[in-house]
Structure 1
């Protein structure tokens, strides 16, 4: 099997938890190492890899694929350098800080003939995979409304400075917002208009930490919400159709398992507790049906497998640069909407 030589641009939480375990597990990747500015940690976990001292060392290495998993405000600068070096790139969310930056990266990848993917791993959460299957099954009838939540209770400011200082990449809109927005676009397509309310609710916070975004579709509406002041969680996904409803709590176990150091596999990985199963209440063949729906298995492996096939077999990226661009268009429209207190046509 052809191996893709791959390097990371940081080995903090994202590199250690979300990327390296899958690059090691997937037989199609060879992890070369990571750029590490101060702490040299990657060799503790992977003794045979390199800790690169500079970005230039990474760009001049044998790496064919580089994962841009640095703070959001650096994504455009670093991804552009990666693409100009003729290397494939995976860029974490938020893809960029502006639509103009996203457009430039997409055009540059096309010009250089390299692959550009956005790391939207939560398309492969057990929650969303199950919601998508319910929609594909058509058991809810014509959709009337959907509401997605990514809520937490965490009134304390993050110790990571780049997350709490006023900069173009900080704030919940560009942290949790891209997950919610990408999931909505993945399931329902691009909306006609956006209305948003963006707030700061934590004491001494300098960045937005509460969002309420309404996406307008011709026949239905999708609401996306995220907050740090939710002790009792709402369902992560609530979908109402003309025949019935589906409510699903957040239950994907992959992030928690990865943080515990568990290694991915293809058998039991991403299997959540039955207590987190979603509730379906609908009408099927003239009969009212109410009960729990088994949750599908989550698998971030599928994202990396998609990246592998995009490079080796010239398939479309699992999440394209254009997908990232569309998310940024929603984010910019949301910022404009909140400032002007009106819906923005897209």
Structure 2
């Protein structure tokens, strides 16, 4: 690589240790140079050369850093991203982009004014299961898609040990957390809707944040349902698409997160390979013949996101996740909360 991008990570919790540090470490174009850990030095146990800072503010003063990964609690995304941009750093900000769309718009304008890269870590675009879904939709094998449903369900009655995820703070709850993935995927497949309806609830005992939601995105001839429920012991297929010619049904089965939690590094044998039993079912008609077949899932690989970021920084290729995409996700979420509170279908303001 002609240039090494020196990166700093704002937190070394699950996001930092699982979804960012391993990919920065193995990518030849990046150096995992800095991390914020206020009391522990666990990052250095695995990455001895990384420099540890006690605060984000202290790390931003490191003039050698080219890129900052903002992966702190959701309500801090705006402040830390703004500070990083003002420090002259390119930024990857975890989803959700911001809590409010006005914050996101300000950050987009700030990054543009400083000619810095600002991108949002919507990594689920790089899941194998979503890759095959996108491939099927774009192939036209289903004909005009009339109904779509995407789930992200869990069975987790107990509250998370991560206190910031269960506190009644701006940007907490299932819709901001898991819903960001579902909304982004729906917009990637079908674009912006005409209107939004939502039912957002709290169903776990003692929970202070939403842990159930159903959104319906209304298009001219299409309805897209996005659902998440923390009390689902036996989940339905995560992807269900029905068109005039056929249907496609698929589980959510990308293996990368599991492999990372096992301590494996990106590129390990079998990386991102999905079991045959998880392949999606295509039931359609081609040339007068009814076809019912399971389609192999492409390999998932979040390293491709970092490839795309590297190329955008060094070669001027397109930003892999435009901040405007992240902003549209926030606009949908804000519209959904308005709908759930009022009990009405709300027109989406594009």
On whether the aligned pair clears a TM of 0.5, the verdict is: yes
Q: Which has the higher mean CA deviation after the structures are superposed, 261-270 or 283-292?
A: 261-270
Aligned match of 1:166: 168
Equivalent pair of 1:172/1:210 in contact (CA under 8 Å): yes
Q: In structure 2, what is the equivalent of residue 37 of structure 1?
A: 38
**1:316 Cα deviation after fit:** 2.0
2:244 aligns to what?
Answer: 242
Q: What is the deviation of 1:326?
A: 0.3
Out of 254, 271, 274, the residue aligned to residue 272 of structure 1 is 274
1:142 maps to which residue? Answer: 144
1:223 matched to 2:242: no
Q: What is the CA-CA distance between 1:268 and the residue it aligns to? A: 3.6
For 2:8, the equivalent position in structure 1 comes to 7
Query: Of 310, 335, 338, which residue of structure 2 is paired with 1:336?
Result: 338
CA distance in 1, matches of 2:137, 2:115: 35
Tell me the equivalent position of 1:259.
261
Q: How do 1:46-195 and structure 2 match up within 5 A?
A: 46-61=47-62, 62-195=64-197
TM-superposition CA deviations, 1:304-341 (whole Å, max 9, x none): 11111111112221111101100000000000000010
Q: Secondary structure at the match of 1:151?
A: coil
Q: Secondary structure, in 3 states, of the residue corresponding to 1:155?
A: coil
Q: In the alignment, what sits opposite 1:25?
A: 26
Q: Which runs of 5+ in 2 are unaligned?
A: none
Count of residues in Structure 1 that have an aligned counterpart in Structure 2: 346
In the TM superposition, what is the alpha-carbon distance from 1:56 to its structure 2 partner? 2.5
**How far off is 1:267 after superposition?**
7.1
Partners of 2:269 and 2:47 lie apart in 1 by 24
> Structure 1 length as normaliser, TM-score?
0.98
Q: Secondary structure at the match of 2:152?
A: strand
- The offset of 1:55, in angstroms, is 1.8
Q: Which runs of 5+ in 1 are unaligned?
A: none
Pair 1:310 & 2:307 matched = no
Question: How far 1:266 moved relative to its partner?
Answer: 8.1
**What is the TM-score with the length of structure 2 in the denominator?**
0.97
Q: 1:7 to 1:296 in 2, by over 3 A?
A: same
Which of 209, 218, 221 is matched with 1:207 structurally? 209
Q: What is the deviation of 1:296?
A: 1.1
How many angstroms does 1:44 deviate by? 0.5
SS of the residue 1:288 aligns to: strand
Cα distance in 2 for residues equivalent to 1:118 and 1:172? 18
Match of 2:286 among 284, 287, 293: 284
Q: Matched residues in 1 for 2:42 and 2:316: separation? A: 34
Aligned mates of 1:46, 1:87 — CA distance in 2:
22
Contact 1:139 1:243 in 2 (8 A): yes
Q: Report the aligned-residue RMSD.
A: 1.0
Q: Distance in 2 between matches of 1:7 and 1:287?
A: 55
